[in-house]
């Protein structure tokens, strides 16, 4: 198939160094690229830079090469994905998956996150097989050659595009984007009071390099009508058929201004980390909406419809909303809270997590030397995380952490990815602290609340992330500090919050 994605070859030069995070961090084997003068990408890797990339954007070849090296390194460290016995007898039995992913919603549908320490080990770019997955139902079986994306509704020229057309007839944009499920850290909410969602830990967050057609370019080709003519929303519809609302497709929508805003970098993506999408992440094509919650990024994209009303999909209303704390499932239905436009979640909120020490890590006190606390932070809407602070005295005093942003801001000054913080502390300080807590701030001076604010869907939990410390005796005559995270994902027990309240 001439001109298709499969024939494109990577063609670029290695120039710049690696981001500082990768040099300074002490994650045991971070992806420290081994820069060599020539590129060698294995045959099955179809990374390419097409003729549009340099004119279209600010994602320079240098940056791309750094990312490529990270991708290569991460891939090399991973065990092969497999047909998992846990998928036997389900509609997903044909999909190969990484065995270490923690399954959160029982067997099926597949909702899973990587072990937190493993996720962090890879640093800025997450290997595809470890990227968290949120599927509401079975993964559609798709073929590149047969797939089409229809653009219709309030457009002058409704059209249907094949995958090869999307690749060859449009400009493309490639950039790293952090995806976060709005349910990230939900298990903490479930400990306080059961929500209607399953137990995400703190690893429903991952970063890949995504490539696709700017949504704006696609809509312009089809001639979107003006607002005066009622073109207010852009709806996205997936191919997955789901039980919700008596059988419906996964779908949602965003405002047309968002869809057309070049600074938002919204793409119709057909590549992740330099290869075609995997089935779990939307093969062959999905939405990527940087700075938004993952729930708006429709996978297995079939239709883009310009409308006056917001999406009518069941999932646009019954999912990805933050309702006030007093609203339980019953009240939500009787008082129609699902349909109140102000409860929708679009952009992510500010959040940060302590990832080092890990849960149940023991720090022996035999050789007291400084210890480095570490973690991740992100915010939404392209806002830069500007400050991360740690308290060891319940919030009376805060210490400033070192922050590393491995991405370069876009030409509009946006940050679409997570960043990493670290803080060196004395072991004696840890010994006298009962708890270590972290909070982040973004460029608009938003920060995280001290206490958890429960909501019925358990979404956007971003209270201070607290790790408890306890003195322990790892060996006879030895003394150490044992660390406890608030929860462990899924049905795993452990964590200072105890077990979920049913
Ligand atoms: N078609 C479709 N798109 C979907 C979903 C889905 O179930 N079906 N899940 C959404 C949710 S809730 C999230 S968090 C992201 C997760 O993307 P990922 O699985 O690639 O990490 O996909 C979104 N897009
Ligand atoms: Mo999600």
DSSP class of residue 477?
Answer: T
- Asked whether 327 lines ligand 1 (CB < 6 A), one says no
| Per-residue pLDDT tens digits for 172-202 | 999 999 999 999 999 999 999 999 999 999 9
Q: Which residue has its alpha carbon closest to ligand 1 atom 20?
A: 281
- Asked whether 129 lines ligand 1 (CB < 6 A), one says no
Chain-centroid distance, C-alpha 239: 21
pLDDT score of 10: 30
CA of residue 240 to ligand 2 center, whole Å:
15
CA of residue 350 to ligand 1 center, whole Å:
21
Whether 52 shows a pLDDT value over 70: the answer reads no
Cβ–Cβ < 8 Å for 262, 336: no
Reported as a pLDDT band with limits 50, 70 and 90, residue 343 is very high
CA of residue 235 to ligand 1 center, whole Å:
15
CA of residue 49 to ligand 2 center, whole Å:
30
Average pLDDT over residues 45-69: 59
pTM score, two decimals?
0.90
CA of residue 320 to ligand 2 center, whole Å:
7
Whether 501 shows a pLDDT value over 70: the answer reads no
Distance spanning both ends of the chain, measured CA to CA: 55
Q: Which residue has its alpha carbon closest to ligand 1 atom 23?
A: 295
pLDDT score of 369: 85
Q: Which residue has the tokens 């400050």?
A: 387
pLDDT score of 502: 46
Residue 158's Cβ-count burial label (10 Å; 0-12, 13-18, 19+) is middle
CA angle 40, 43, 44 (to 5 degrees): 125
Whether 321 shows a pLDDT value over 70: the answer reads yes
Whether 42 shows a pLDDT value over 50: the answer reads no
> Would you list the DSSP string of 300-362?
SEEEEEEESSPP--HHHHHSSB---TT--HHHHHHTTGGG-GGGB--BPPPEEEEEESPTT-E
Cα separation values, 167 from 41, 65, 152, 175, 274, Å: 20, 21, 19, 16, 13
- Asked whether 135 lines ligand 1 (CB < 6 A), one says yes
**Which residues, in sequence order, are CB contacts of 336 under 8 Å at separation 6+?**
none
| Per-residue pLDDT tens digits for 250-269 | 999 999 999 999 999 999 99
Average pLDDT over residues 291-305: 98
Q: Which residue has its alpha carbon closest to ligand 1 atom 15?
A: 294
- Asked whether 151 lines ligand 1 (CB < 6 A), one says no
pLDDT score of 257: 98
Q: Which residue has its alpha carbon closest to ligand 1 atom 5?
A: 135
User: Pocket of ligand 1, candidates 134, 177, 293: which has the most ligand atoms within 8 Å of its Cβ, to mutate?
Assistant: 134
- Asked whether 132 lines ligand 1 (CB < 6 A), one says yes
Which alpha helices (DSSP H) does 6-60 contain, by range? 20-24, 53-56
The pair of structure tokens assigned to 295 is 């729930």
- Asked whether 457 lines ligand 1 (CB < 6 A), one says no
pLDDT score of 59: 59
Reported as a pLDDT band with limits 50, 70 and 90, residue 345 is very high
Cβ–Cβ < 8 Å for 437, 464: yes
* Atom in ligand 1 nearest the alpha carbon of residue 134: 19
- Asked whether 316 lines ligand 1 (CB < 6 A), one says no
């Amino acid at each position: 198939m001439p001109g298709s994605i499969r024939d494109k070859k990577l063609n670029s030069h290695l120039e710049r160094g690696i981001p500082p995070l990768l040099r300074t961090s002490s994650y045991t084997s971070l992806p420290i690229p081994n820069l060599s003068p020539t590129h060698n990408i294995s045959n099955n890797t179809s990374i390419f830079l097409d003729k549009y990339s340099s004119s279209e954007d600010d994602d320079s070849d240098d940056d791309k090469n750094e990312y490529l090296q990270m991708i290569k390194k991460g891939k090399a460290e991973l065990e092969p994905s497999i047909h998992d016995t846990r998928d036997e007898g389900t509609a997903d039995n044909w999909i190969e998956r990484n065995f270490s992913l923690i399954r959160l919603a029982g067997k099926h549908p597949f909702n899973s996150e990587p072990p937190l320490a493993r996720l962090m080990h890879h640093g800025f770019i997450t290997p595809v097989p470890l990227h968290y997955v949120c599927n509401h139902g079975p993964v559609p079986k798709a073929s590149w050659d047969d797939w089409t994306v229809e653009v219709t509704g309030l457009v002058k020229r409704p059209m249907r595009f094949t995958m090869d057309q999307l690749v060859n007839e449009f400009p493309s944009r490639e950039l790293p984007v952090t995806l976060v499920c709005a349910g990230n850290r939900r298990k903490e909410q479930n400990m306080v009071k059961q929500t209607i969602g399953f137990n995400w830990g703190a690893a429903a967050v991952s970063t890949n390099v995504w490539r696709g057609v700017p949504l704006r370019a696609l809509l312009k080709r089809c001639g979107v009508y003006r607002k005066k003519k009622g073109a207010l929303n852009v709806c996205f519809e997936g191919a997955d058929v789901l039980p919700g609302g008596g059988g419906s497709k996964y779908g949602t929508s965003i405002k047309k201004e968002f869809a057309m805003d070049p600074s938002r970098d919204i793409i119709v993506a057909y590549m992740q980390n330099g290869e075609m999408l995997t089935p779990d992440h939307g093969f062959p094509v999905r939405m990527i909406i940087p700075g938004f919650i993952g729930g708006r990024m429709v996978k297995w994209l079939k239709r883009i419809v310009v409308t006056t009303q917001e999406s009518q999909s069941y999932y646009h209303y019954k999912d990805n909303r933050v309702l006030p704390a007093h609203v339980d499932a019953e009240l939500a239905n009787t008082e129609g809270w699902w349909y109140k436009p102000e409860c929708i979640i679009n952009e992510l909120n500010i959040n940060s997590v302590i990832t080092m020490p890990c849960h149940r890590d023991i720090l022996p006190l035999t050789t007291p030397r400084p210890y480095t606390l570490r973690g991740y932070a992100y915010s939404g809407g392209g806002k830069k995380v500007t400050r991360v602070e740690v308290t060891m005295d319940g919030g009376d005093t805060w210490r400033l952490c070192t922050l590393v942003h491995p991405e370069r801001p876009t030409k509009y000054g946006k940050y679409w990815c997570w960043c990493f913080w670290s803080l060196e502390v004395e072991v004696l300080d840890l010994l006298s602290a009962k708890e270590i807590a972290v909070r982040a701030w973004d460029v608009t001076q938003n920060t995280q609340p001290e206490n958890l604010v429960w909501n019925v869907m358990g979404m956007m939990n971003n209270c201070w992330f607290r790790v408890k410390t306890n003195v322990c005796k790892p060996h006879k005559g030895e003394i150490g500090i044992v660390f406890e995270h608030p929860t462990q994902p899924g049905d795993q027990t452990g964590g200072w919050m105890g077990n979920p309240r049913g």
